[in-house]
Homo-oligomer: A and B are copies of this chain.
Amino acid sequence: MKTPVRLLACLLFMVVTEGHAADKLPAASHGVAYPEGWKDWATIAVSHRNDNNTLRVILGNDVAVQAARAGDTNPWPDGAILGKVVWKDTQLENWKAAIVPDEFVHAEFMFKDSKKYTDSYGWGWARWVGLEQKPFAEGMDVCIACHTPVKNRDWVFTDPASLP
């Protein structure tokens, strides 16, 4: 990318993030603050769960994406945030064999901080439900119980998808 283009991108970034800073964010879930800007994070993987008919994209913040691409994921580094965005699935009207997102269900996140979250295996577990992004408040134990099969993988199900 040429220097003037990068400079322009920088200025644009500052204008855009200035705007976002003024937005009101959803309240914390389990004491974990809402991860601003996750919709613009890069993809780590996708999944389709046939047991509850949901499609997911697994995103990461910069620390998580860098770790995923470097294979540095057991343990994930402090500062990594993994996001799982979940939709009910449905059939694509114009290509029946394609299963695609229907209604948005929730976005859930794991925040790695091995010092802060010693009581929950090094992760802060949080979820925001529905388009209104209502903070999930049933306790991190609900998340941890489900993730127990992967406790030897730093509690993470996702294998970063292969990328060129």
Contacts and interface: CB of A to CB of B under 8 A. Distances in A.
Interface of A: 1-2, 6-7, 9-10, 13-14, 17-18, 20-21, 36-37, 39-43, 45-52, 55-57, 59, 65, 85, 87, 89, 92, 94-95, 97-104, 107, 128, 130-133, 149-150, 153, 157-159, 161-164
A98 B60 CA distance: 19
B131 A162 contact: yes
A36 to B, nearest CB: 7
The binding surface of chain A is classed by DSSP as: mixed
B20 A14 contact: no
Contacts of A92: 47, 157, 159
B164 A104 contact: yes
Given A6-B13, A131-B162, A162-B101, A40 B42 contact: yes
Contacts of A107: 164
Given A6-B17, A13-B10, A163-B39, A46 B101 contact: yes
